[in-house]
Chains A and B, each alone.
Chain A
Amino acid sequence: MAKEIVLREGEVDVSHIVPINRQSFADKARAYAHKPCSLIGFALVLLATLITLAMVLWILVYVFMQGVPHLTADIFAVRWTPENMSMLPSLVNTLTIAGISLVVAGVVGIFAAVFMVEYAKSTNIFVKIVRVAAETLSGIPSIVYGIFGMMFFVELCGWGNSLLGGAFTMALMMLPLIMRTTEEALRAVPDSFREGSFALGAGKLRTIFRIILPSAMPGIVSGIILGLGRVVGETMALVYTAGSAFNVRYPASPMNQGCTLTVYMYSLINEGNEYIGQAWAVAVVLIVLVVLINGVAEFIGNKLKKEY
């Protein structure tokens, strides 16, 4: 330090003190020499991170290397034939089921969240029970949903294997997620919005639908898109509800059965040696879909954070 430091009364010269977050390498080395456990700790942390990153990259690279060569125009042909094994019909089925289930789960989830945030006091016993129910629903494994969907929609309602049954089962699975994200988004809306709206004479309903929901939209949409990501990746719940016909086709109506992308991949896996390449190609498409969906969700979610 060439500059001369002028000390006013009572001040202390602190220029020679080295703050801990500016340790030199020599300081660190000395500290580690004294406490080797710390060095081991640091090494373990680094090792764990390297292993994890390596795993992620290994899986991604492997899947892409195996699958991309098989992403021919054939496999995206509009009609499925045993020769081209097109995955386009199953992709459309996935999007259809996702669309229906997200509309259903979205409406129910958003309304429920509105109730929990805007109408009920948090000490209300009803609210507590709903929360417990939501927690339970979110923990149930997908195969249990699959069995339930099969017993309820396929057998009891008599729909047989249907896209609608699959969509409703998925809606059940998505409900807790959507309610939770919507609640967070609603709580993030400042109370001043509500108060201002009431002050201007709007009733409760109008406030909710005109002011609060639109403000919370980015968070709500982000939650719905996250739910979309989960629907896209789900297999077991759909195998027993929407069906697993091998020769996939576009269903004429939601009451027909339909094989989604994940279930199609499951069928391909069960075909063993014959369709290894196609299975990897479907895996690539699945991963790309999920990455896109999560990316969009995060983008929209970030907009929420920016505005407040």
Chain B
Amino acid sequence: MKKIFLAIASLVLAAGIGVAAVGCATGYAVEVSGGGSGVGLSNTRNGTFDLGMASKEVKGEDAEGLTVYQLCIDGIAIVVNNENAVEDLTTAQIKAIYLGTTDNWSDVGGADASINVVHREDGSGTRDAFLEKVGIDEETETMVEGTTLNSTNLVMQTVSGDKNAIGYISLGSLDDSLKAVKIGGVEATKTNVLNNTYPLQRPFNVVYTESRLAENDLLQDFLTYLKSEDAQEIIEEKGYISLTSRTYPAYAVPETKPETMELSVGGSTSVQPLMSQLAYAYEELLAA
């Protein structure tokens, strides 16, 4: 019996090692974690991440010790369930809903039902950007208590399942399962974000420390990639908005490949899906 047990155990171990070896042999690794914009900033500062992602403006205290590069622009869409009759809200109405002064859909043109407010968590860049653009000061005003969820996609799932819910998500993540309301008559589209008629927008920033940049040549090359046309193509494809004021060079894989094999990226969950795609495309380019 013991022999059989040992045989099975060694088989499993061998299989594991074999799979791992195959997997390991591939090389460059750009790991993209989440955690929120707050984590992105603090962990880049303390060195846990090589590159941080933030879905809001990084200035003042937040920017201490960090160099910021704006990757692209993203709109914030206010989303309601597809069955909700409301099509249009003003910033003032949204503010009133989130402060709790308006708590029934009938007050803003919908059915008679109480509004289920959905928040993002405290460290979310989307939340910070939303509050800033809508004009709610957290220090002085109390928002209505609503379901607090940890990521854009969870908000989407909740709002698409609850016909009385309202939430805010990244515009790039918007899909058919939800409806984005117009803000003061302006629809939430890329063009409207670019020409500044749609007010709810925020930058996607990446942050890094100069010291880490000097040490990690993979980071240097990845940043070159992010600043290139190839990256912008992916950004546009995913529904985010390139800064048209810049010109982007094409990316070429460097002659001598970077020495460092690992790159650790983390932060905003709004930027995370985009960054995962970019990381994957980058790895493919390097491995080729």
Contacts and interface: CB of A to CB of B under 8 A. Distances in A.
A and B in direct contact, judged by CB atoms within 8 A: yes
Interface of A: 78-79, 81-82, 88-89, 92, 95-96, 99, 160-161, 217, 221, 243-247, 249-252, 256-257, 267, 269-274, 300, 303
Contacts, number: 90
Given A92-B23, A246-B276, A272-B156, 8 more contacts: A99-B13, A161-B48, A217-B2, A221-B5, A245-B266, A252-B262, A257-B264, A273-B153
A288 B261 CA distance: 35
Interface string B1-37: 1100100000011001001101110100111111000
Nearest to A269: B154
A246 B160 CA distance: 24
Given A95-B12, A270-B151, A303 B32 contact: no
A284 B150 CA distance: 24
Nearest to B280: A82
B269 interface: yes
B78 interface: no
B147 to A, nearest CB: 13
Contacts of B175: 273
Contacts of A96: 16, 20
A273 B19 contact: no
Nearest to B24: A250
6 contacts: A92-B19, A96-B16, A99-B16, A249-B31, A270-B154, A273-B157
B34 A244 contact: yes
Q: B-side binding surface: helix, strand, loop or mixed?
A: helix
Contacts of B24: 250-252
B279 interface: yes
Chain B contact-residue range equals 35 or more
A270 B150 contact: yes
B170 to A, nearest CB: 12
A303 B30 CA distance: 48
A267 B34 contact: yes
B201 interface: no
Considering the complex of A and B, which 9 residue pairs feature the smallest CB-CB distances, nearest first? Answer: A272-B153, A250-B23, A272-B157, A245-B31, A271-B153, A270-B151, A272-B154, A245-B33, A273-B157
Contact of A246 (B1, B5, B34, B150): B34
> Which of B24, B153, B262 is most buried by chain A, counting CB atoms within 10 A of its CB?
B153
Contact of B1 (A92, A273, A303): A303
A161 B273 CA distance: 21
A14 B125 CA distance: 85
A291 B195 CA distance: 57
B33 A92 contact: no
A203 B118 CA distance: 69
Contacts of A81: 280
B32 A247 contact: yes
Contacts of B280: 81-82, 247
B262 A78 contact: no
Nearest to B19: A92
Nearest to A275: B153
Given A217-B2, A252-B24, A273-B157, A78 B33 contact: no
B1 A79 contact: no
B90 interface: no
Contacts of B23: 78-79, 89, 92, 249-250
Contacts of A82: 276-277, 280
A71 B69 CA distance: 40
Nearest to A270: B151
B272 interface: yes
B31 A273 contact: no
B19 A247 contact: no
A244 B158 CA distance: 23
B19 A272 contact: no
B33 A246 contact: yes
Nearest to A161: B48
A244 B153 CA distance: 17
B200 interface: no
Contacts of A273: 153, 156-157, 160, 175, 177
A247 B150 contact: no
B155 interface: yes
B279 A247 contact: yes
A261 to B, nearest CB: 13
B157 to A, nearest CB: 4
Contacts of A247: 30-32, 276, 279-280
Nearest to B175: A273
> Which of B5, B155, B177 is most buried by chain A, counting CB atoms within 10 A of its CB?
B5
A88 B19 contact: yes
Contacts of A243: 31, 33
Contacts of A78: 19, 22-23
A244 B32 CA distance: 9
A167 to B, nearest CB: 14
B252 to A, nearest CB: 23
A250 B20 contact: yes
B1 to A, nearest CB: 7
A157 B141 CA distance: 41
B173 to A, nearest CB: 9
A247 B32 CA distance: 6
Given A79-B26, A82-B277, A246-B32, A300 B5 contact: yes
Interface string B121-165: 000000000000000000000000000001111111110100000
